[in-house]
Structure 1
Amino acid sequence: MSIRHLTGVFIGSHAIAEGVITRKQLRERGFRRLVQGVYADPGLSFDHRLRCRGVALLLPGGTAIGGHSAAAWHGAPFAAPHDPVTVLRPADVEWRGPRGTMVHRTLLDAAEVEERDAVPVTSALRTAWDVAALEPVGTAVAALDAMVRAGSVRLPLLQAMVCDGAGRWGVAKVRRAIPLVDPRAESAPESRVRVACVLAGLSPVPQYEVRVDGVLLGRVDLAFPEARLAIEYEGAYHFEGTQIVRDDERIARLIAAGWRVIRLSAADLRDLVGVVQRIRAELARPQ
């Protein structure tokens, strides 16, 4: 094999030992380092799953990619490219992992592991448990919303998992997260805002259709129908093509019909307490 055919993900020392590449070529040809000692063809799309593929080349037997990292294979690809890769290991496997991994010691049954893209990942239901147990509640619920929406897991199974999990590690966090799951949410930011509201005692309705005299004016991310208050998250897609024009026209129709609209961006999500305060203040205003 020549360097021209060195594609995909590979361990650098192995490629050098096999004579496929030299150390100098490894440094100078633009190969992307995923974690220490593991590289990828620069033409591959760099996302969290690619980093997981790199870590998978180093995993000892009995371990698996899990938690928020495994969720990328189950309908919730929300982990960022540089987020640590979550690895689960049983007690009898001693492995700390390279920098860029988070290794958790736990009970791990072989039946809870499946292979996806040549990567050992935890099953959807096991992933759901670990996401709820390991992640902050807003992050966890966003992933679980997406997994249920994608059909990877069913909400009744998640609810049954809570009932069957007495005494299991992380059960308190799981019991907090599962009741908040709502697959109507269509984005992670929307889920996070909704969770922040619910935990503050507010009850927004996800993906609410605003109708006047039977005419659909638009669907909003979150709504307080009685107060005629809508919450809209505007991600990067809002500025693609003519989307911004369509969104602005829809919001103008809502305002003309007597609705108030709070428009949020990624910057607002850095202060969810402040977002909830804004919503509460609008709800307190007379219509």
Structure 2
Amino acid sequence: MAFEAGISPKQLRSPDVVRSSRDTYLPRALAADLRVRIAAVLLNAPQRAVISHRTAGALWDLEIPMQRPDDRVHLTVSTGSAVRGRADRCAHRVPFSDEDVVRLDGFPVTTPARTWRDLAMELQPPALLAVTDQLLLRRCTRDDLLAELVRRPTGRGAARARAVLPVADPRAESPMESVLRWLLHEARLPTPDLQHVITSPGGRFLGKADLAWVEEKVLVEFDGDLHRDREVFVRDLRRQNRLVGEGWVILRFSSADVLGRPEEVVAEIRRALRRARSAHSPASAL
């Protein structure tokens, strides 16, 4: 195809050109652009191929935590297709119908609900919960996802999807916050209130908590990279002082905590809740 377009072998060997697979070349300046890579893959993919899985998730603006980088274009092809994966693409053979596909940015892409069910085949529950929270916020209703489970009630990922969906909440404000929530769910800790607005007895706004146990006056904050900004850091300190002054216990965790020492994170939250409950009722325990 390149030769038919008048591109010579010498031009293909230029430093300005990147070979993404055995017969696919891209301008180096555009090689990092996802949509350019998708277009290149679709040029020699089967006619009914559809963009799916992690690549569909990226097109639907989903942030998937806890995953290794993967620049391949993921596409689903018919179960009888002989197409194979290459360096620039990953081919999935899962049955699909026309109702599973929409046009997005000019590409055939699995619907948000179908993308969710496909990702359930590959993601572990914490990451799947993060995806589910985002979809409920921007793309799907809970009924949409339930309907997808009804259509594919068995097979790989069905049990994970069924376990995660009841825990999902569109109020989650970051993927890692969702990951932390799954840890608490697995540990059978009481379900926190998300994005709880805290006011003083006089009605003055004190702040909003990522996760809050209101009766115990315990709140948990997930601090992402944004909180390293000096202005945000100063604002966080002032808010924390106001909340502590009103009797709230505040625990703050980073991704290094949630991913690197999850058992300790759960234990610290459990201890804080136990102390708070003991202060109210010595006989209560978690």
Q: Given that residues 30 and 36 in structure 2 are in contact (C-alpha distance below 8 angstroms), is that contact kept between their aligned partners in structure 1?
A: no
> 1:60 maps to which residue?
46
Q: Tell me by how many angstroms 1:53 deviates.
A: 4.8
Change over 3 Å in CA distance of 1:34–1:241 after alignment to 2: farther
Deviation per CA, 1:52-92, whole angstroms, max 9, x where unpaired? Answer: 45544443222222123212233414377932543222212
Q: Distance in 2 between matches of 1:241 and 1:118?
A: 41
> 1:281 maps to which residue?
271
> 2:204 maps to which residue?
215
Change over 3 Å in CA distance of 1:169–1:228 after alignment to 2: same
Q: Is structure 2 residue 83 aligned with structure 1 residue 90? A: no
Q: Secondary structure at the match of 2:270?
A: helix
Q: Given that residues 148 and 183 in structure 1 are in contact (C-alpha distance below 8 angstroms), is that contact kept between their aligned partners in structure 2?
A: yes
Q: Secondary structure at the match of 1:191?
A: helix
Q: Given that residues 208 and 223 in structure 1 are in contact (C-alpha distance below 8 angstroms), is that contact kept between their aligned partners in structure 2?
A: yes
**Match of residue 246, structure 2, among 257, 262, 284:** 257
Deviation per CA, 1:179-214, whole angstroms, max 9, x where unpaired? Answer: 121101011011111111112112122111122212
Q: Distance in 1 between matches of 2:75 and 2:103?
A: 14
**Aligned-residue CA RMSD (Å):** 2.9
Q: Is structure 2 residue 164 aligned with structure 1 residue 174? A: no
More off after superposition, 66-75 vs 193-202: 66-75
Q: Given that residues 62 and 110 in structure 1 are in contact (C-alpha distance below 8 angstroms), is that contact kept between their aligned partners in structure 2?
A: no
Q: Given that residues 20 and 87 in structure 2 are in contact (C-alpha distance below 8 angstroms), is that contact kept between their aligned partners in structure 1?
A: no
> 2:56 maps to which residue?
70
Unaligned segments of structure 1, at least 5 residues: 1-13
Q: Tell me by how many angstroms 1:97 deviates.
A: 1.6
Q: Given that residues 12 and 25 in structure 2 are in contact (C-alpha distance below 8 angstroms), is that contact kept between their aligned partners in structure 1?
A: no
Deviation per CA, 1:84-103, whole angstroms, max 9, x where unpaired? Answer: 54322221212222135443
**Match of residue 144, structure 2, among 157, 168, 172:** 157
Amino acid at match of 1:216: F
> 1:193 maps to which residue?
180
Change over 3 Å in CA distance of 1:260–1:22 after alignment to 2: farther
Q: Secondary structure at the match of 1:192?
A: helix
More off after superposition, 120-129 vs 185-194: 120-129
Q: Secondary structure at the match of 1:226?
A: coil
TM-score, normalised on structure 1? 0.81
Q: Is structure 2 residue 232 aligned with structure 1 residue 246? A: no
> 2:284 maps to which residue?
none
Q: Secondary structure at the match of 2:120?
A: helix
Change over 3 Å in CA distance of 1:175–1:23 after alignment to 2: farther
Q: Given that residues 132 and 141 in structure 1 are in contact (C-alpha distance below 8 angstroms), is that contact kept between their aligned partners in structure 2?
A: no
Q: Distance in 2 between matches of 1:91 and 1:26?
A: 36
Change over 3 Å in CA distance of 1:161–1:119 after alignment to 2: closer
Q: Tell me by how many angstroms 1:274 deviates.
A: 3.1
Q: Is structure 2 residue 257 aligned with structure 1 residue 268? A: yes
Q: Distance in 2 between matches of 1:143 and 1:184?
A: 13
Unaligned segments of structure 2, at least 5 residues: 280-286
Change over 3 Å in CA distance of 1:281–1:21 after alignment to 2: farther
